[in-house]
């Protein structure tokens, strides 16, 4: 289906949010869309960034210079067209018991996108976010999150935050009984986080993953 871009919000030099018409698309927070520039064959998957309650849709995009889609999206302007298909995927929170569970959301880079949708769609959930980034400037719209629940893990530079990767921080974290873990990011990070959680004794049925390539 074809959608009209309404707004492009630049977060860093190469990371941006595209807002476009939602119309009749119904989705569950955590699902993704397949998106590409209007009139082009190339498309790729992007997790929905916006809330279930919003009357628009947003995706969080990082430009990859060698990519077939993100550079074209970077050059888009309000009024341009997008080809959008979906939603797809089962990376979502179960509605039963949602407000009584504790969640750990673990992301790298733009892998935080589905967690932004979780938090804005379900403001009453009990969550902690570990966000692996290279620089504090990549803490995309961190004001969205409760500052006591958002932990940026910065791999470069020295900041007044945790300096290191999420895989360095996680072994030191005191897990809570029955906590559910949702992980979104690159394949290597997900593999390592799952290994750490298994070593901690977290059962597989409390670990949920979404891979970003």
With a pLDDT cut of 70, the percent of the chain lying above it is 97
**163 within some domain:** yes
Domain that residue 29 falls in: 2-88
Decide if pLDDT at 193 tops 80: yes
pLDDT (tens digit, 9 = 90+) per residue, 14-62?
999 999 999 999 999 999 999 999 988 899 999 999 999 999 999 999 9
Residue 114, domain CATH: 3.40.50.80
Statement: residue 112 has pLDDT above 70: yes
The total number of structural domains that make up the chain: 2
pLDDT given at position 156: 80
Cβ pair 37, 73 in contact under 8 A: yes
- The CA-CA-CA angle for residues 122, 127, 128, to 5°, reads 140
Per-residue pLDDT band at 113 (split at 50, 70, 90)? very high
pLDDT of residue 3 exceeding 60: yes
CB 183 within 8 A of CB 30: no
């Amino acid at each position: 289906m074809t959608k009209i871009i309404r707004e492009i919000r630049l977060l860093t030099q190469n990371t941006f949010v595209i807002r476009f018409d939602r119309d009749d698309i119904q989705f569950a927070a955590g699902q993704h869309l397949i998106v590409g520039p209007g009139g082009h064959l190339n498309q790729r998957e992007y997790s929905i960034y916006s809330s279930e309650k919003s009357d628009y849709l947003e995706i969080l995009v990082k430009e990859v210079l060698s990519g077939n889609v993100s550079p074209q999206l970077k050059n888009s302007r309000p009024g341009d067209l997008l080809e959008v298909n979906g939603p797809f995927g089962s990376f979502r929170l179960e509605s039963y018991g949602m407000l009584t569970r504790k969640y750990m959301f673990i992301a790298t880079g733009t892998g935080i996108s589905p967690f932004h949708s979780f938090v804005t769609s379900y403001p009453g959930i009990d969550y902690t976010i570990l966000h692996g980034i290279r620089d504090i400037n990549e803490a995309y719209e961190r004001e969205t999150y409760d500052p006591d629940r958002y932990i940026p893990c910065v791999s470069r530079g020295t900041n007044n935050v945790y300096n290191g990767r999420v895989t360095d921080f996680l072994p030191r974290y005191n897990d809570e009984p029955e906590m559910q873990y949702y992980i979104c990011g690159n394949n290597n990070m997900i593999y390592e986080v799952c290994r750490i959680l298994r070593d901690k004794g977290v059962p597989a049925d409390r670990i949920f993953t979404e891979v970003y390539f």
